[in-house]
Amino acid sequence: MLIDAFSEDWIDTLEARAAGLPSSDHLFMVLDGAFVPGLHSKLSNGRKTLLFASRPGCTQEAADVSPFLTQFHIGDKALRSLLAHCNRWPMVSAIETSEAIEGLANRLSAWCVVGADQQRFNFRFPDTRRLPAVLDILKPEQRGQIAGPAGRWSLIGRDGRWCDFDLVRSDEAAATDPALDALQFAALVEDSLADEILMLLVDRGREMLRTPSASHALLGIALRAAGRAALPEPHLVDWCDWFWQGGQRVDDPTAASMLETWRNTFQ
């Protein structure tokens, strides 16, 4: 599992939020099917919209890992049962919007594949580890294209609790061929670096901390120290590995001193 266990009241929080919505708004769940393939099949066709369905050449295999939308209704036992399968996966977010599900799906589907550096790639914005950075790097016009008249986009964060992002409601039309500039793309690559290095440390047999969020936070300390010291990228994994074995109760200044020791010893 990739994030902490969800808080016990996470669905109850959704129930309260749905109850407090103005009559003009709906609450839609955005679920990243890549983490639990085929999860969408637990809902009838009339209760879900697959974001890959409108993409060219969507096979059954692609459909089973597609992000999908479903409306949250108070007291919906079938949806509660489905959501129980999402625990500890970075796959759950919720959008409050006045738009119908078809319009929202059209917006989000357009962003499943984006252009960057003269290439096109699968834009994993429904992965809630990536979503905060995505919302941060998008320009206001792009944020309007992906979210439209939505007023809030919430996600289950690394600590298993809801994290809210308030949005400026927009009448921007859906994007037709979204693209990121070089700075946006670089920011997303940097945002994913800690998760990538954590997987490499696991491959080296390193034991993770008690929770995924604590492991990610600790590695963030190592990467901040490396960034301030302009440590070349080829040395990052070896530095993080060494730091991991001795740095589990340190702060940023201590990590900087440890990095200096590591460089003097191993470089």
Residue 121 inside a domain? The answer is: yes
pLDDT tens profile 229-253: 999 999 999 999 999 988 677 788 8
pLDDT at 247: 66
Confidence tier at 98 by pLDDT (50, 70, 90) = very high
Residues 17 and 123 in one domain: yes
Residue-range definition of the domain harbouring residue 36: 10-180
Residue 2 inside a domain? The answer is: no
Burial of 67 (0-12, 13-18, 19+ CB in 10 A): buried
Name residue 174's amino acid. A
User: Quick one: tokens of 8?
Assistant: 């016990």
Based on DSSP, count helices (H) and strands (E) in the chain, helices before strands. Answer: 10, 8
Q: Which residues contact 9 (CB under 8 A, 6 or more apart)?
A: none
pLDDT tens profile 51-72: 998 877 778 888 899 999 999 9
* Residues in the chain, overall count: 267
Query: What value does the mean pLDDT of the chain take?
Result: 93
Whether 93 has a pLDDT exceeding 90, the answer reads yes
Whether 139 has a pLDDT exceeding 90, the answer reads yes
Q: CA–CA separation, 143 vs 138, rounded Å?
A: 6
Residues 154 and 207 in one domain: no
Residues 168 and 220 in one domain: no
CA-nearest of 59, 148, 160 to 108 is 148
pLDDT at 80: 92
Average pLDDT of span 116-126:
90
pLDDT tens profile 172-230: 999 999 999 999 999 999 999 999 999 999 999 999 999 999 999 999 999 999 999 99
User: Quick one: tokens of 246?
Assistant: 């001795």
Whether 94 has a pLDDT exceeding 90, the answer reads yes
Q: Is the alpha carbon torsion for 107, 108, 111, 112 positive or negative?
A: negative
pLDDT tens profile 1-12: 799 999 999 999
Residues 142 and 199 in one domain: no
Angle (nearest 5°) at CA 64 between 165 and 30:
15
Considering its fold, how many domains does the chain have in total? 2
Residues 243 and 144 in one domain: no
Residue 49 inside a domain? The answer is: yes
Residue 90 inside a domain? The answer is: yes
Residue 252 inside a domain? The answer is: yes
Q: Give percent of the chain with pLDDT exceeding 70.
A: 99
CA-nearest of 207, 208, 225, 215 to 158 is 215
Residue 115 inside a domain? The answer is: yes
Query: With contact defined as beta carbons under 8 Å apart, do 214 and 177 qualify?
Result: no
Residues 168 and 197 in one domain: no
Alpha-carbon distance values, 169 to 95, 112, 243, 255, 265 (Å): 12, 21, 44, 42, 54
Alpha-carbon distance values, 249 to 90, 113, 186, 210, 243 (Å): 26, 40, 30, 13, 11
